[in-house]
Amino acid sequence: MASASIRRRKTRSGETRFQVRYRLGGRAYPLVHGGSFPTMKEARLRRDLIGGELAAGRNPAEALRASSVPTRRTFREWAKAYTTSRVDIGEQTQRNIDSHIKRLLPAFGDRDPQAISVSDVQVNGSGRTPI
């Protein structure tokens, strides 16, 4: 019989996490990790989702894969994260970085960095058409 459960775990830092685990069948089937959450509420929601999939006779892994859409950071978000992470640079270098980012944000600010091609940079980054 398929089942889903929640297990409380302590991390090395002492924080409590709630792990959701399930089996596709009886005890002969392996335990499958269904997610780890900081609150019991989130763990119960995941357990209920998995329980519904098991009751319908479907594999919960497919529903979990479909529901976990990776979040993409825009060029603007990456630029901000980069400038705040650089605490070990000089004042002139920081001005140069800010100048470059200010010039690139109008062209690439709301785009996914993985979707930016070399030709996009040649056209939009320099303000000239590629040779």
Residue % of the chain over a pLDDT of 90:
56
Number of compact structural domains in the chain: 2
107-127 pLDDT tens trace: 898 888 888 888 888 887 555
- Residues 88 and 96: their CA atoms lie apart, in Å, by 14
pLDDT over 70 at 130, yes or no: no
**Is 38 inside any structural domain?**
yes
The structure's pTM equals 0.53
Query: For residue 131, is it within any domain?
Result: no
Higher pLDDT, 68 or 100: 100
Question: What stretches of the chain show up as alpha helix (H) in DSSP?
Answer: 40-55, 60-67, 75-85, 91-108, 118-120
Q: Which residues lie across from 17 on neighbouring strands?
A: 9
User: 18 and 51 in one domain?
Assistant: yes
Longest dimension (CA), the chain: 66
Write the pLDDT tens digit of every residue in 79-107.
Answer: 999 998 988 889 999 999 999 999 989 98
Clarify whether residues 95 and 48 are in a common domain.
no
DSSP state of 10: E
Query: Same structural domain for residues 51 and 79?
Result: no
Q: What is the CA radius of gyration of the chain?
A: 23
Give mean pLDDT, residues 23-48: 94
Please tell me whether residues 86 and 114 are part of one structural domain: yes
Contact 27, 44 (CB under 8 A): no
